[in-house]
Structure 1
Amino acid sequence: MSEIFRQAQWEMVGVRRAQKIFMEDMERATASGRLHETGPGRRLLRKIVTPLAEEIRNETDKAIAAAGERGRKSVVGDCFMAFTDKHLEVAIVATATVLGNVGMSFAPPVTRLSKSVAAALRSQLSYNQMQEQAKAEKSEGDDTLSVLLTRFKERYKNPNVRQWKEWTRRAGVLVKAEWSEIHSITVGAWLIERICVASEGAIVTAEVAADPTKPCARCVVASSQTVQDLLDDAEKMSLSAPRLMAMVTPPLTWK
């Protein structure tokens, strides 16, 4: 056997083995609901977050503009007010949570997933609060609520007295208090609905019966076409990434 043939055989075996390993990892990630941690899943996440962030911005603008008016208030808009201009951050956290809980082997109910999305947003809000508090202690000593209200005033010019008081009240509740269960479900369900629309059918809601004797539950699932597309995409990536191939035999120098 010539050295050139042995070198070619080594490369072929290495690429095939790397492809097999890559596909096995991809299938495990998809089955366990870690879609957002895969290459194709990250591309799906990037596809969703941009239109979702725009929806969040519009809802926030409506809530803040109507803060000083009497009448029904938006629970969803109130939640996003606490993040002020960090709409893309909200979109990424919500989408990653949904993709992280959707897999081939199981389908989480909408209510449970809504709570998970709201919990992830609440954790992110607490993290942001800690960062703002640390910055405030190093500078002027202002608390997080003051920083939040300052951002509101910078973005929305000339607020009236009633609007400013309403901002102060709502921001204080959102930053310092825990969200109620109905608040969490409402916010999470709103985000899940927008994520399904932004994904263009990749993520859908469907009625799934865990037990034939029990009523169906509305669940969030990845469509079968989406799963197949992700696996096909992963196969293409594995073939185009020879750097992933395993070291089967020592490489030979070309002559």
Structure 2
Amino acid sequence: MKNSAGRKALKSGSNFSGSNEARKGGLLHKVSTSPSVRPSTNGPEGREFGTGQLASRIAASGYASSDVTIVAISHLHTDHINGLTDGDRPAFSQARYVVGQAEWAFWNSTDFTGTPAAMHATFIQRKVLPLREKMAFISAGASIAPGVTSMVAAGHTPGHMAFLLESAGRSLLLTGDTANHFVASLQKPDWEVSFDMDKGAAASSRRRIFGMLAAEKIPFIGYHMPHPSAGYVETLDTGFRFVPVSHQFLI
């Protein structure tokens, strides 16, 4: 994002968010009688930085980590897999795990030594490989649980997934890291983002997914959106605008 004039414009008052809290938004979702969690967020190592609160938030909702039966992983970046273990133990002892087949194949077919992706590869070795026997590898349109379907949102990583939740005629899309910033990534979806591994594919995914959300008026939860991480999308001339769900109750 090197366009300084464009960046200044995006900082205008119309884009102001009342929250200055950076989010890494995991979600606990109850399907029938069994809860599932997605995405897996930072583990205990992150608590000194204000993250790593997934287990305590699950407990506050009335569940234990051992109640979780499915962990759906959007992609294998460190901030989405660090919470899979608590020390040397699985954080979700009764869970099975789902991740995109393309994502798994990418991270397990290349030597990343000396590359910017080396840190992620190291964490995958530590946090994900020990869970290999409990993992299922999925593609687009996979039914993870009743009312939970996978969608391809490649670009941020080669096998990045979004997850569509449907119940009683209502829908909610979990977009993961399809958009990393609530203003720049939506209002300028074609701008290149340093964190995206395939920048062209990531831009295409943003236009396709947020275009669908705007057209069908489906709410979404974005992993890096500001508190409370949930909202709607409205169409602008060149992109989209994030409307936090908290604002909906004021209209």
Per the normalisation by structure 1, the TM-score is 0.27
More strand by share: 2
Per the normalisation by structure 2, the TM-score is 0.27
Q: Which structure would you say has the larger RCO, counting Cα contacts within 8 Å and 6 or more residues apart?
A: 1
